[in-house]
Amino acid sequence: MPISAAKKNLKTRKPIAATPRIGLHLGIAGGLHNALLRARELDSTALQIFSRNPRGWTAKPLELEQVETFKRVREETAITPVVIHANYLINLASGDTTIRDKSRDAFRDELERAVTLGANFLVVHPGSAKGACAADGVRTCAETINEACQDLELEGLQILIENTAGQGDCIGHTFDHLREIIAATPALNLGVCFDTAHDFAAGYDLRTEAELAATLDALNRNVGLENVRVVHFNDSRAAFNSRVDRHFHVGAGEIGVQAMRRVARSPLLAHAAFILETPQDEIGDEANNLAALRSYINSSSG
């Protein structure tokens, strides 16, 4: 679709909310609840965490005291949504049966932990189709998700598939991959986590108003913007269409201030929670990136 047509189509859509909830990914050292307390210190209204070591296949089971403390502190801080990011080893699209089985079991554990903690969303990368074509990877990803969720009551938890930069043999770098995974898991009501840095590196441009409109139109046609529940709001250290996944500080990367501001202020994404996954190179980076996001949302310029 031409950019001008995409822009016209999106202008006719009714905004869902006025201002997004914002937060960032925080560490869980000393206890899961500490991330909630840190989020409150930073005056954020949303939060993303790992519920376990993100680089291990197995994890210690959650203890009752951990869960109760997390839920109590969450109620006290009123932070919502709480997003859990699945661990990095999980490869739902793997053609290697050993890795696929381990990934399915690890994803099942992530689901059970998220339900136990009362999280709103569980974000997962769709995985790599190394050794197979993308279509096979998409099909395997959907099958693995269905198997992991078998006989599990999600109790309000929604699984979000994250778009990818397309590095290596990763699937999910085109919106039609996300559409096909969702279509193959109809009973699960999957949603989408839209990562701006991944989007940019995968070849969906954001740098002008017209290019943002075209990108959001493509996202809407494939998965429905209402199903984008979380936005990973990251600038990109990597160049446009590079297929390289490198997050950078808000407004300081290849996407840039003006483009990031337009994304933050888009009424078509305001219903989603905006979560920062920006680098923590120096003390104060968390607060500085949050301040930038707030300034973009509150800015009167487009």
Strand-pair partners of 49? 84
- Helix, strand or coil for residue 18? coil
For residue 233, give Cα distances in angstroms to 97, 126, 236, 259: 34, 19, 10, 11
Answer whether 27's CB lies under 8 Å from 2's CB.
Answer: no
Q: Render the burial of 67-104: b for 16+ CB within 10 Å, e for the rest.
A: bebbbebbeebebbbbbbbbbeebbbbbbeeebbebbb
Q: What DSSP letter does each residue of 202-247 carry, written as one string?
A: HT---SSHHHHHHHHHHHHHHH-GGGEEEEE--EESSPTT-----E
Query: Which residues are catalytically annotated?
Result: 55, 85, 88, 125, 162, 195, 198, 232, 245, 247, 277
